[in-house]
Structure 1
Amino acid sequence: MWSTDYTAETSLSPADVWAALRALHEGELTYDGADEFVLHGPFAVGTHVSVTPDGQETFESTIIDVVENTTYADETVFGDLTLTFRHTLVPTGTGTSVTHRLEIDGASADEIGPELGPQISGDFAESMQALFDAAARLVDGEAATEPSDA
């Protein structure tokens, strides 16, 4: 297995971050560079999700963990590999700590993970900040979607 974590903190509450994270995964929120999500059922364990990374082909994932204001995870199977993406929210004295974890498991994970993993997780810091910014806009009552540059 290969894995990596990225953790960041925000002054926003877990409920505020959760609202943005859920809206993103339900396809109701977007921002520059964000993956596009289309749910095929409720926001619940077992639901399939079509995921289209910015500028890439769509693939299918399955939600494997949902605990409101605490954790969201989905997994994607590619051949003999399983990629698990997990967001874990932990309240702090001043807001929320959020960890985005990627796990690559399977027969070839030890060979492919060190190359593929950093390619996938290379934008975790920027993505997390964009999620926090979108959550702050929701709290402020603004549109969560960034205006386009068009």
Structure 2
Amino acid sequence: MWVYEHSIETDAAREAIWRLWADVDNWGAWNAEIEKIEFRGPFADGAEILMTPPGEEPVALRVTEATEGETFTDEARFDGLVLRTVHRLVPLDRGRTRVLYRMEITGEGADQAGPQIGPGITADWPETMAALVTLAARS
């Protein structure tokens, strides 16, 4: 298994961050690594997302868990690997929130593939999360 976590603390309201997460069609407003996105759902367990990074093939994601206002998890599966990304809002003191992203790569060959593909997938997380909380703070 390969694991990576990144978090950021913010004064932005958790509800505002959740609204941005749940508005999948507009993820490109705060995530520069999205060229095109298609969403089938409501934003709940079982929803399907087809996300196309710039210059790459589309990636099929499925929401495997969604607890409104708290957390959602999406998974991509290919070549025997499961790429699971957990997105969590952690309440802190004085109305602050920690926004946490955690990627877990599991499955056959994850110990070798994870270090090869994981850093490329997660490299933009600091910028993406900063853009997310900045936009949430404005709303």
After TM superposition, is the score higher than 0.5?
A: yes
* Equivalent position of 1:17 in the other structure: 17
Over the aligned positions, Cα root-mean-square deviation in angstroms equals 1.4
Is residue 2:110 matched to residue 1:114? no
Q: CA deviation at 1:97?
A: 0.3
Partners of 1:19 and 1:47 in 2: CA distance: 16
Q: CA deviation at 1:34?
A: 3.9
Percentage identity across aligned positions? 34
Indicate conservation of the 8 Å contact 1:13/1:91, yes or no.
no
AA of the residue aligned to 2:129: M
* Equivalent position of 1:30 in the other structure: 28
CA deviations 1:44-65 (Å, max 9, x no partner) are 1012111112332212111101
Give the direction of change, closer, same or farther, for the CA distance of 1:131–1:44 in structure 2 (3 Å limit): same
* Equivalent position of 2:8 in the other structure: 8
Partners of 1:117 and 1:96 in 2: CA distance: 26
Compute the TM-score of the two structures, normalised by the length of structure 2.
Answer: 0.90
Partners of 2:41 and 2:100 in 1: CA distance: 26
Indicate conservation of the 8 Å contact 1:34/1:53, yes or no.
yes
Aligned residues: 136
* Equivalent position of 2:130 in the other structure: 129
Q: CA deviation at 1:29?
A: 4.2
Compute the TM-score of the two structures, normalised by the length of structure 1.
Answer: 0.84
Secondary structure at 1:132's aligned position in 2?
helix
Structure 1 gaps of 5+ residues are 140-150
CA deviations 1:64-97 (Å, max 9, x no partner) are 0101110011100011101011111011123110
AA of the residue aligned to 1:105: T
Structure 1 consecutive aligned stretches of length 4 or more whose deviation exceeds 3 Å: none
Partners of 2:114 and 2:15 in 1: CA distance: 33
